[in-house]
Structure 1
Amino acid sequence: MQLSKTLALGLKDILSIEVMSFVLKVGLGSIALWIGVFYFYWHEILAIIASYLGFLPWEWLKTTGSAMATFIVAYVLIITTISVLTSLYSEDLLKKLALKHYGVEARGNPSIVDSIWINVRVNAIFLALFLLFFWLIFVPILGQIFMLYLWSIQIKEPTVHDVGGLFIHDKEVLKQKAKKARVLAIVPSAFNYIPLLNIFAPLYLQILFLHHILHD
């Protein structure tokens, strides 16, 4: 299927009531969770981040950037939580969409243990790279490209496992289908630059990948 058609089908689905309901529950729940954490532990978190910024060469960031950096960290943690929860709880919704569009029943049942492990692994990589190269965020253009790449890492592999595992048994076929997942992941990842729209990113990729593997 052409990329433009896949994106259009995914956009139509993401605007449906059942998808919106799922996204709002996961998204608003994640936002509320981290608002609570940062509300109660703001000073402690701010001190940790200020200590980290002390290793960076930019004086302005050390003196005035701690609060801004803390908000960025909070935002990234919200996105990470949304990604994990979407991966773990979207299965029933994906089955409904597959049945609705293609009359296809799920042929498999992805392991929840594997799903958890994949999420732990990719998010550990994501957070490690984010913290290690945090300073890149403040480099125009390069920083934005870097974050876009990181966000695509965060959602690509869980999506291939969770969605592909429902409908494809053959690992070689899934491997071939997964080649396009990186390209598909870029568009939803860009949602993360827009607050509130970011809560749709992980599920939008799952829906795009579902159309990609079932439409052929």
Structure 2
Amino acid sequence: MFTNTIKKSLQDIFSPMVLTFILKIGFGAILFWIFIFSFFWDDFSTFVTSYLTWIPFDWLQSTIAYIAAPLLAYTLIIVTIAILTSLFSEKLLINLAKKHYPEKKAIASPSIMGSISSTLSSTIIFSLLYLILFPTFIIPVIGQVIMLYVWSILLKAPTVHDVGGLFIINKSELKEKRKKSNLIAMIASLFNYIPFLNIFAPIFAQIMFLHH
């Protein structure tokens, strides 16, 4: 049952080894962007405002810009966490598999280039959709659903590649498991709505894919 998958994943997410991984990756990414923005925030904010020149009325433009710059900065943190998780989660996933499924052995180590390629392609698609659909994000309810879907794109392909490539050799089995990857990515992306808990999203998606 999928509810059991969620239950197991939530239990794992609060285990010491997962929390240690998350704190290293998550707070590392947060501190990195805090450092960058401490020097370039004004330039960054100006850039975001320039993108919003199509919006009528100066007061509306300035209001949206006030929200848009922090939102985009927050998104950059999310992207960075997703990339770092994809690149460095292999050892953690193997340890979790040993804990829950002793019979499940890592069949291969997903190639670094494959992980980078999968993550970069997802990031590019995510970035394009984010820029195109950004104005819709301010629409109540509908905007949040659209944003959730866009965020899920960032997690879906890297999760399938990293976890599937590590444990699944049978292509038909991987194809079957991939069917729920959209749902898994969207559930994990819900963490992105809560500051600081967003650091859990990418690894939560990978753990869910491991369990389902």
1:197 corresponds to 2:197: yes
Q: What is aligned with 1:8?
A: 7
Q: What is aligned with 1:183?
A: 183
Paired letter, 1:101: H
State, as a whole percentage, how many aligned pairs show the same letter.
48
Q: 1:37 to 1:72 in 2, by over 3 A?
A: same
Paired letter, 2:8: L
Paired letter, 1:192: N
- Measured against aligned partners, the alpha-carbon deviations of 1:49-76 in whole angstroms (never above 9, x if no partner) come to 1111111246433123323211000000
Q: What is aligned with 2:128?
A: 128
Question: Stretches of 4+ moved more than 4 A in 1?
Answer: none
Q: What is aligned with 1:35?
A: 34
- Measured against aligned partners, the alpha-carbon deviations of 1:24-63 in whole angstroms (never above 9, x if no partner) come to 1100011111111111001111111111111124643312
Q: Deviation at 1:107?
A: 0.9
Q: Deviation at 1:176?
A: 1.2
Q: What is aligned with 1:160?
A: 160
Q: 1:75 to 1:38 in 2, by over 3 A?
A: same
CA distance in 1, matches of 2:29, 2:51: 25
Q: Deviation at 1:208?
A: 0.6
CA distance in 1, matches of 2:60, 2:134: 12
Q: What is aligned with 1:75?
A: 74
CA distance in 2, matches of 1:11, 1:208: 9
Paired letter, 1:29: G
**What is the RMSD of the two structures over their aligned residues, measured on CA atoms?**
1.1
Q: TM-score, normalised by structure 1?
A: 0.94
1:18 corresponds to 2:17: yes
Contact 1:108 1:167 in 2 (8 A): yes
Q: Deviation at 1:109?
A: 1.4
CA distance in 2, matches of 1:4, 1:125: 30
Q: What is aligned with 2:145?
A: 145
- Measured against aligned partners, the alpha-carbon deviations of 1:182-210 in whole angstroms (never above 9, x if no partner) come to 11222111110001111001100100100
CA distance in 2, matches of 1:57, 1:107: 56
CA distance in 2, matches of 1:28, 1:154: 19
Q: Deviation at 1:142?
A: 1.2
CA distance in 2, matches of 1:139, 1:176: 35
CA distance in 1, matches of 2:180, 2:58: 42
Contact 1:53 1:61 in 2 (8 A): no
- Measured against aligned partners, the alpha-carbon deviations of 1:74-97 in whole angstroms (never above 9, x if no partner) come to 000000000010010000000000
Q: TM-score, normalised by structure 2?
A: 0.96
Query: Which 10-residue stretch deviates more, 167-176 or 142-151?
Result: 167-176
Query: Which 10-residue stretch deviates more, 168-177 or 11-20?
Result: 168-177
Contact 1:49 1:69 in 2 (8 A): yes
Query: Which 10-residue stretch deviates more, 163-172 or 8-17?
Result: 163-172
Q: 1:61 to 1:117 in 2, by over 3 A?
A: farther
Q: What count of residue pairs does the alignment treat as equivalent?
A: 211
CA distance in 1, matches of 2:59, 2:171: 51
